[in-house]
Chain A
Amino acid sequence: MLTPEQIQQKLDRILLKVIKPGRYVGGEYNITVKNWDTTPNRVAFVFPDIYDIGVSNVGLKILYDQVNQREDALAERAYAPWTDMELFMREGGIPLYSLETFHPLAAFDIIGISLPYETLYTNALNVLDLAGIPVRASERTMEHPLILVGGHSTMNPEPMHAFIDAFVIGEGEEAIHDVINTVARFRQSGTTGTRENMLLALSKIPGIYVPSLYTVTYQEDGTVETVAPVRADVPKVVTKRMVAKLPPPPTKFIVPNTETVHNRATVEIMRGCTRGCRFCHAGMITRPVRERSVAEVVAAAEEAIRSTGFEELALLSLSSSDYTNILELVTTIGEKFGDKHLNISLPSLRIESVSIELMERLKDRRSFGFTLAPEAATERMRRIINKFITDEDLLNTTREIYARGWTTIKLYFMIGHPSETIEDVEAIATLAKKVLAEGRKVAGMKVKLNLGVSTFVPKSQTPFQWVPCDTTGQIKEKQDVLRRMLKDKNIKLSWTHAEDTFLEAFLSRGDRKIAGVIYTAWKNGAKFDAWNDQYRYPIWLAAFEEHGLDPDFYTHRQRRLDETFPWDHISAAVRKNYLFQDFRMSLEGEIRPDCRQKCYACGILPTFSNQRRENPGEGWKCPDVKSPAKQLSVISVP
C-alpha cells in the first residue's frame, strides 16, 4: 500500500494536467486532521460524485462531525474523481485517497458511502475499484475495510446488496457509533475476528442491514416469494433508526477553496414532513416530524456564519412553512443577518401568501427567484397525489410575488403521476401561461417564469410503490405537448430526460437480480449516471440483455396488490397496510390532510413509542394519541 507521502509525490506530477485540481488536494478551512497513528478507529466518508457536488452534502457533514467528536476515532473524506483525473490515477497507480491525510482508502477500517439517490450506484462501484478494494462484498476479507452505505436510496438496498457489507437504514447519527464500536471489537480481538462474525454482530445493531445474511426466493413470474434471514438470530425485518431528539446541528462547515454547488452554511430546522404527498419518498421515510427550537436554530446560524464566513445561509427542511414558529424564526434571522451582505434561503415554501411575507422578512434582495412547487395542475391530479391547492390560490400568490418585485418565479411540476392523461399535462402549460399573464397585469412585460417539469419515478416505501412508471415513449409524448404549448420566450421550460427517468426507475424498485446488471453496466463503462452527458443508455440495455432480464418488468409493470416487494424486509416504520390504504384513497381521489392535527396511524408512533417516552418535549410533532393502534378503526378504506 502506498504511503501518504508517495501518493502526494505522484499527485504533484499529475495535478496540473487535470481541470480544477483544487478538487483533489483538500486543505480547506475547518477540516479535522487527527493523528493517524494514535487514533485507532478510522472512517473514510465518500460521496461518490465529484467534489463540487459532494462537499456540501449535509448528511456526511453531520457524520463527519459525529465521528471526529470521538477521541478514539477519526473521519476523513473522499469524492469520485472526474474522468480526466481517474485516467491519470489509474495510469500512475494512485489509489483513491483521503483529502485530510492522503491515506489510501484501503487503509481505513470503515468506508462510509453516501447514496442519497440511485444514479450514484455505478460511481460507488468505481470508487471501490479505484481504492483497490474488491467490488463484490463476497470477495472481501478482514484485510479490507467494512463497506457501509447510508442515505435515502437504502430504503430499497437490494440492487446494491452484492457490493455492500452493511447498510444503515434510516438516520445515522447514533448508528455510526454502534458500527464503529462493533468493528473496533473485531479489529482488536485478533483470532476471533473473522469477517463473518463481524457482519453477524453488525446485523444485531438496530437499523443495520447485512444483505449477505438473507436469502431471497422468487415466484415463477419473477417477483419475490420470500426474503428470509439465514440464521434465527438475524432480524427478519430491519426497522430504520430514528433520532428522537435532533442532536445539535453541525456549525463548523468545511469551507471549500473552490466554487462548488451549494457553497453555503446550512441549518436543518426540522426533519420529516406531515403533509403526506403520495409521490414523495422523503416525506414517507423521514417521519416523524421533529423540530429544532427557534433559539437553537438562530444560535447555530450565528455560529455557522462566524465559523465559515459563508455569504449564504440556508434554513433546510422538507416544508419550511410547516415549521411551528416560522414567522418568529425568519423575523429573528432577518433582523440579525439582514444587513450583513448575506443571502438567506428558505426553500420548500407552501403556496400561500404568507410565504411572501416570510421572504420579505428575510430581506431577500430578490436576486434569486421565488420557487413554488404545485407539482400538478388539475384538481383531479392534485387529489391523487395528495397535494391539494387551488388554481386560485396559486394565481393569487404568484401575482403577489410579481407585484412585490420578484421578476422571476420558478414553478416545479411533475409529469407521469399515476393515471395522468394528456389533458392533465396540457393543464400544466395552460396554468403556466395564466401565471405569466396575471404577472404581466401587475408587473409588466418584464416578468419571467421558469418551469421545471420533472418526471415522477415510483419509489419504494411510498403509496405509489405499486404503480408503473411511464414508458420513455409516454414521457416524450407528454414533454412534446409542453414544448409545443409553451413557446413564450419568457417561460423557460426544463425537463428530465426520459432515459434518465428509466434508469432511476429500475434502480429504485429493483431486486437482487439488478445487482448483476449494475455490475455489467459499470464494467462496460457506465458511471456518472447522474450527469446527462455521461449517461450511457445502450450500455444499460445491453447489460439487461446479458442477464436475460427485462427492464420493463421493473419500470412499467403494474405490481400485484398482494406482491411481496424486494424491500419488504426493510421498514421505514410506516406500515405497508397504511401505504396501501393511502394508495387506494388516491385511486378514489381522496385526500388525507396534514397529520399534525390528527394521527392516521402510519405506524411511526407504535414503532418508536419508547423513544418518544424517553424524549418528552415540544420537538416531536406527532399529535398526542392515547393508543395509536385504536386509530386504525376510524380510517375508512374505500
Chain B
Amino acid sequence: MRIRLTFAKQGALRYIGHLDLHKMWERVTRRAGIRLAYSQGFHPQPKIQIAAALPLGFSSRCEIIDMWLSEEIDLSGFAEAIQAAVPPGLHIQQVDIVDDRAPALQTLVDSAAFEITLLTPADDELPRRLSSVMESETLPRERRGKSYDLRPLIESLSFISPDKITMKLAARPSATGRPEEVLDQLGIPFEETRIERTQLILK
C-alpha cells in the first residue's frame, strides 16, 4: 500500500537535512505503529520517497513523501497517529492513497514556489534590481565550478512588501533553480533571509 503525505516542516526542523529527514520518517512510523515495507537484501531499507530535497535552512509548507506499507490499513485515524509521533515543527496536511505503480515521486516535480522574508528590510533600489533580473535575456552564473544560465529557471519573481519576495523556480531533475542564487543576483545575502517553500507543483 502506497501512501502520499503532504506536510509542513518548520521551526527547528529547518536545520535538519534531507538524509536525516529519511531517518526521521522511519522512526516516526515506528512510533505511530505503522509498518513500513522494506527493500530486500542484506541491508533492507524502508521504502520511502521524498519528492524534492529541501535545502538546509529552508522551511516548507508543502513537502511531499510517499511511503510503502507492508500491509493494507484503514486510513481513518492515520493522520492523527502520525501527527502524534512527529517532532515539533512538523505538521501533517494531507494524506492520499496512491497507485502502487504510479511513477516515482521525484520524477513528478515540475516547479517550486518560495516566499522569502528579509530579516533586514530591502533598500529602495530592490524593486528596480528585481525588474532588471526579470527583463534580462540571460543570467550567466557559476555554481560549484559549473557555468549555467539562471534566467530560464525563474518562472516568476515578485516584490510583495519591503520584507517579502516570492518566486517560482523550475524544479525538474535536470533543471533546478535555487532561491539563494536568485537572492545573490539581487545582492541579498542568504543568511539575511528566511526562505520557505510554499508549493511544489507536480506535472
Interface residues of B in 60-92 (CB under 8 A from A): 85-89
Q: Is B24 an interface residue (CB 8 A)?
A: yes
Interface residues of B in 89-115 (CB under 8 A from A): 89
**CB-based contact A15/B15 at 8 Å:** yes
- How far in angstroms is the closest Cβ of chain B from A251? 12
**CB-based contact A21/B191 at 8 Å:** no
* Also in contact, A22 and B27, with CB within 8 A (given A13-B191, A309-B85, A341-B44): no
**CB-based contact A25/B194 at 8 Å:** no
**CB-based contact B42/A29 at 8 Å:** no
Select one of A25, A307, A310, A311 contacting B15, CB under 8 A.
A25
CA distance A290 to B11 in the complex (A): 43
CA distance A12 to B120 in the complex (A): 12
A-chain residues with CB within 8 Å of residue B14 when the two chains form the complex: 25
CA distance A258 to B87 in the complex (A): 12
Q: Is B144 an interface residue (CB 8 A)?
A: no
CA distance A327 to B148 in the complex (A): 63
Q: Is A26 an interface residue (CB 8 A)?
A: yes
Q: Is A404 an interface residue (CB 8 A)?
A: no
CA distance A522 to B14 in the complex (A): 34
CA distance A259 to B85 in the complex (A): 19
Select one of B20, B26, B38 contacting A259, CB under 8 A.
B20
B-chain residues with CB within 8 Å of residue A305 when the two chains form the complex: 30
**CB-based contact A367/B42 at 8 Å:** yes
**CB-based contact A13/B192 at 8 Å:** yes
- Chain A: number of interface residues, binned into ranges: 20 to 34
CA distance A349 to B57 in the complex (A): 44
**CB-based contact B190/A16 at 8 Å:** yes
B-chain residues with CB within 8 Å of residue A15 when the two chains form the complex: 15, 57
Q: Is B176 an interface residue (CB 8 A)?
A: no
Determine the residue in chain B with the shortest Cβ distance to A258.
Answer: B20
**CB-based contact B57/A21 at 8 Å:** yes
* Also in contact, A255 and B87, with CB within 8 A (given A308-B31, A311-B26): yes
Determine the residue in chain B with the shortest Cβ distance to A257.
Answer: B16
**CB-based contact B20/A27 at 8 Å:** no
Q: Is A86 an interface residue (CB 8 A)?
A: no
Determine the residue in chain A with the shortest Cβ distance to B55.
Answer: A16
- How far in angstroms is the closest Cβ of chain B from A27? 3
Q: Is A14 an interface residue (CB 8 A)?
A: yes
Q: Tell which of B15, B44, B190 has the most Cβ of chain A within 10 Å.
A: B15
CA distance A257 to B13 in the complex (A): 8
Q: Is B173 an interface residue (CB 8 A)?
A: no
Q: Tell which of B20, B24, B30, B46 has the most Cβ of chain A within 10 Å.
A: B30
* Also in contact, A309 and B31, with CB within 8 A (given A16-B190, A28-B87): yes
Q: Is B143 an interface residue (CB 8 A)?
A: no
Q: Is A204 an interface residue (CB 8 A)?
A: no
Determine the residue in chain A with the shortest Cβ distance to B57.
Answer: A16
Q: Is A336 an interface residue (CB 8 A)?
A: no
Which chain B residues have a beta carbon within 8 Å of chain A's beta carbons?
Answer: 11-17, 19-20, 23-24, 26-31, 33, 38, 42-44, 46, 56-57, 85-89, 119, 190-192, 194
Given contacts A21-B56, A27-B87, A306-B33, 12 further A-B pairs with CB under 8 A are A13-B192, A22-B17, A25-B15, A26-B12, A27-B89, A29-B27, A29-B87, A257-B87, A258-B20, A259-B23, A308-B27, A309-B29
Which chain A residues have a beta carbon within 8 Å of chain B's beta carbons?
Answer: 12-17, 21-22, 24-29, 255, 257-259, 305-311, 341, 367
16 A-B interface contacts by CB (under 8 A): A13-B119, A13-B192, A16-B57, A16-B190, A21-B56, A27-B12, A29-B27, A257-B12, A258-B16, A307-B31, A308-B27, A309-B26, A309-B30, A309-B31, A311-B26, A311-B27
The 10 tightest CB contacts between A and B, nearest first, are A27-B12, A309-B27, A309-B30, A309-B31, A25-B12, A21-B15, A29-B87, A22-B15, A16-B57, A257-B16
